[in-house]
Amino acid sequence: MLAKITIADYMTSHLLTLKHDTDVSVAIKLLLSHQITSAPVLDDAGKFIGMFSEKDCMKVVLETSYNQGLSGVVSDFMSDDLASVSADASIVDLAEKFEQSTERSYPVFDEHDLIGIVSRTDVLKALVSIR
């Protein structure tokens, strides 16, 4: 039964996105205020170019410590070499992918368009839904 559940069934499709030139202090405040661990980063044309996550924020902390000040934009710290998943993939396949990586979430694409984000928490929600 779980194998029939797709990523599209549990992904978050209403996304907080960040522009590549957003100040990192603003981006961090947005992650905190929305209680999320990552957000997609878009270029000026609205195209997905990476993710800005809590892990990337650790780079900001270190850079701030070294330079005695908080500065920079999201594109200076974001991750752009990312794996992604397809909306029609099964939750079981996604669980296997999570089990083999340290990622906490993946961008979800339909063809070439970003349509959502799926997290480990979403996999757990799918699991408890079958009871």
- What is the domain partition of the chain in residue ranges? 2-129
**pLDDT tens readout for residues 112-124:** 899 999 999 999 9
> Helices marked H in 68-119 — which ranges?
74-77, 91-99
DSSP structure string for 20-54? TT-BHHHHHHHHHHTT-SEEEEE-TTS-EEEEEEH
Q: Looking at domain 2-129, which of 3.10.580.10, 3.20.20.70, 2.40.50.140, 3.30.497.10 is its CATH number?
A: 3.10.580.10
DSSP 16: -
All residue ranges of the chain with pLDDT < 50 are: none
Quote the distance between the C-alpha of residue 8 and its chain's center. 15
pLDDT of 111: 83
pLDDT of 69: 76
pLDDT of 131: 74
